[in-house]
Amino acid sequence: MVRTPPSDKLREARESALVASIRRKERLQAWGDYVGFAVTKGGGLATLLVSGLELLNPNILPLQLTQHQSETALGVGLALLGGTKLISLIAKVTNALK
């Protein structure tokens, strides 16, 4: 039986702890991505639904939005459903028009 020096065991333990830490961070980041995606799509869908109903029939909901607010909310809902690429494209176009 070959005995390994304590320094080798210590190095292996540190490496395995580092690998476990990296994997844990990756899992947490993946969950954060999933939650962010769900919140963005849910918020976009809710905004699209409320603004669409308000545009179709302004008296159907108990809230009062002007025509401009409804159109803006509709655009925000579409942008949130479209994702971050669409939002960054809208920001670039808006900055170019200024």
Model pLDDT for residues 53-88, shown as the tens digit of each residue:
888 888 888 877 787 888 888 888 888 888 777 778
Mean pLDDT computed over every residue of the chain: 84
Residue whose entry in the numeric block shows the structure tokens 């020096």: 5
What does pTM read for this prediction?
0.60
In a domain, residue 75? The reply is yes
In a domain, residue 63? The reply is yes
24, two tokens: 């844990």
In a domain, residue 35? The reply is yes
In a domain, residue 12? The reply is yes
In a domain, residue 64? The reply is yes
| Structural domains of the chain, count | 1
pLDDT, tens digit, 9 for 90 and up, residues 10-55: 888 889 999 999 999 999 999 988 998 888 888 888 888 888 888 8
| Higher-scoring residue by pLDDT: 97, 1 | 97
List of residues 6+ apart from 67 with CB closer than 8 A: 55
Boundaries of domain holding 82: 6-97
In a domain, residue 33? The reply is yes
In a domain, residue 1? The reply is no
